[in-house]
A and B are shown apart, each in its own frame.
Chain A
């Protein structure tokens, strides 16, 4: 009997302890951001979508070979001086793993991952983009 009464008290105490914890947080400030009015800045190394500096690209296909999910296509034409000229850089955002493996082998640092994180679109075909168009002005 005494054991039971003791247990009632210890149980109620444990419940009160829990209430104290939640009460403590009730009056402490919130930790969340009010997105989209408040925005968070991604760190320097953040891996957003793949982006291209078109002027730097030498169409060497290293990124295409590095990609584990075949998400990149580099189109080029051979110029008169036998140099490759970039004519299209197709990026399949829908199959991209955001792993960053394409960035690492690039000899001219033409390909990188930018800070964009709002990548939702209304139609699936919008996910396939030509980066020479989309990143025309990226230096």
Chain B
């Protein structure tokens, strides 16, 4: 608690004790009216002097609708009506509300600051064989820094010496450590777990990942959601309207009664008008709505999901259609051996021979076969390599004549082969003139792609669409396997925009469409969709720039998580808005009818605010979604 808050708490306690004692004393004894008034002024002034002072200053500046003025007016009014306890109590609860709000907001600010505590304070550089801590802001790109175990990497760079594993969970939400060695790129914000690393920085501190993420999250609140704009507008009209209603309530009924030559009952109507003033502050909603968004955005970023503004949070919650660009989001985007079929030999032996035969080829297919074999190649085993362009390769490997290539190669060699029903590129292998099976190479589906689609459907996404430049057959098979509703294949980049536009036209106005891409070459589509989501953005500035929502790692499961976070946040925002407005209006009506007194009015003001703020804080907790 800050000093200001402590002081406020002490004032509240003192005033509360005095108020209760006075209440008891006046109940059991007969104190003269003036003495009682004087006694009640003590707790009133203790708890409310600053509000009164601010009200006076506010009047000087023409701020009549200021909360301080309204509170001062309502409480002084109550005291004039000789409702001393209520006058003091309203001021007291008002101050409790203010204190609570300031503590709650301060706490969640701190919570989020802790969650986002990824900005390193220093960098180590070597000077005369000793490590010196310097301000990372002063280092130029290309400097060499040393990161010891347990330290945070301060600046993006490339490892030049040392091996270690990194915990990037502050950036991606993924706690599995990542192994790094010489030439591995590293991002600021990650924690070095085991070995000492020497890193050559590639960026300035301010341009590094950690700084960028922080900047993004801090600025997210500036892009306001519709709900926030609604609240600002509402607050602007609400207070003056309630005050006007109060004036009307204080004057109209008594005057009407006078005209009918009844007793005007001035006290009663003025009292009812004063209860209006107590309910006139829109604080509950005004504080809880931005707090909810701030909490939701903070919680999401801790899970590796960056939402660039409250407005995007709102759109995210309304998504009913998700369009995927296949490569890089549902599939890994790198070619790999996904199967070895009809092999007469051990799969590994087939791969060994094929890998050696292909060892001189720079082709990506050859590379993926070598990667699948995974062991050191022995060049001395390979001779007589003959590359036949558009067909494949023949070579002598370890004493065997090996031919590896497509259907045409097999046909030209006169070797009968099994055609393959699998999707992808097929490399047939023949050994010593005999067919030995084939290797299937395709873009690997990500581990969680199927589950991700299922989760999205669970989360209420009605339509999932996959777009790809691949051929129809390959695309259909994947689409069926992961169970997307619609697939469009053989697309050029421009076609993707057209299809997204068509989908946008078809959908209901209240619904939204998200496009998920890797952010590298789909910027136009990301921009065209209601919401652009970029995946695998860690280390890619372009992706972070292009999208509205950024998933730091490339796990497609995060998409449904993001939707769930947004839904929860929006649900809380809406509940708060309707609850606060509902209770306030109910109390206004009851107050006008004389059923609700000032005690109920102060609940409508402070109680509702406390409840809304507590509810809003729930937005921070997104781990289990």
> Do A and B interact with each other, yes or no?
no
